[in-house]
């Protein structure tokens, strides 16, 4: 966890830790140790299949007993980031998160959990409904721009668009005037609303105004392409935006 937090890659050390953890069959690892280990390897871009198999099997074997909200979120985020999607682990985490009613999940944990399940292609409707209800209950005040964008992207990717959640995110994004949204956040938000079949005029107007306000060289070609697709799909006319993109 320390090396990953410091952003310091140490291949030999991580190879040795992985081999030793697997050799011990994770004996002595508590839930936070399991979650932190998975998080550390994923954060440094290391997809160690044998280690992830061992962590997944151990977590499922324990029935996730002792895993708190952050442990659950970090574990599922790490697996999705490493492109590792164990159905048994994702099913177990979904059931446990729903059982806990997500009351102790922070805004980032809710967002990361939704993103992880969508990225892994594991769309648990019970979980997504619970995340939506909890996010709306919290009022989105603790969600930063990345959390808002990531959450709405995850729900659209999972093919699930609860009106209450999308209404709340749209209103919150417009209220903030999108100044703190990264270019990718703007593109993803537009894409998500269009994919969900929503044309929220105030939101699309705000996105268009913010895009035109920024230097175009800060946008990737993919972001601009997604933006144009989203506005066209949503049926939202934005002549100045399309002129600028063209």
State pLDDT tens for residues 164-211. Answer: 999 999 999 999 899 999 999 999 999 999 999 999 999 999 999 999
Give the dihedral sign, CA 163/165/168/174. negative
What is the structure's pLDDT at 175? 95
What is the structure's pLDDT at 148? 97
What is the structure's pLDDT at 246? 86
Q: Kind and range of the H or E element at 166?
A: helix 163-176
Contacts of 42 (CB under 8 A, 6+ apart): 77, 78, 79, 81, 82
The answer to whether the beta carbons of residues 93 and 72 sit under 8 Å apart is yes
**CA-derived radius of gyration, the chain:** 20
What is the structure's pLDDT at 213? 93
How far apart, in whole angstroms, are the C-alpha atoms of residue 67 and residue 60?
Answer: 11
pLDDT < 50 regions, the chain: none
């Amino acid at each position: 966890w320390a090396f990953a937090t410091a952003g310091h890659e140490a291949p030999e050390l991580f190879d040795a830790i992985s081999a030793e953890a697997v050799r011990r069959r994770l004996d002595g690892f508590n839930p936070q140790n399991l979650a932190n280990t998975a998080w550390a390897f994923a954060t440094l871009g290391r997809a160690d299949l044998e280690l992830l198999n061992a962590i997944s099997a151990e977590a499922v074997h324990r029935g996730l007993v002792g895993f708190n909200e952050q442990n659950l979120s970090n574990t599922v985020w790490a697996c999705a980031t490493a492109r590792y999607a164990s159905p048994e682990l994702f099913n177990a985490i979904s059931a446990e998160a729903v059982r806990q009613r997500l009351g102790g999940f922070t805004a980032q944990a809710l967002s990361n959990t939704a993103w992880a399940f969508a990225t892994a292609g594991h769309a648990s409707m019970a979980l997504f409904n619970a995340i939506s209800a909890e996010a709306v209950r919290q009022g989105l005040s603790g969600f930063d721009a990345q959390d808002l964008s990531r959450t709405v992207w995850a729900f659209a990717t999972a093919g699930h668009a609860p009106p209450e959640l999308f209404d709340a995110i749209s209103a919150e994004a417009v209220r903030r005037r999108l100044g703190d949204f990264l270019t990718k956040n703007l593109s993803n938000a537009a894409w998500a609303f269009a994919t969900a079949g929503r044309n929220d005029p105030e939101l699309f107007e705000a996105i268009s105004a913010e895009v035109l306000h920024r230097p175009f060289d800060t946008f990737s070609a993919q972001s601009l392409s997604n933006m144009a697709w989203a506005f066209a799909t949503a049926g939202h006319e934005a002549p100045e935006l399309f002129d600028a993109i063209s």
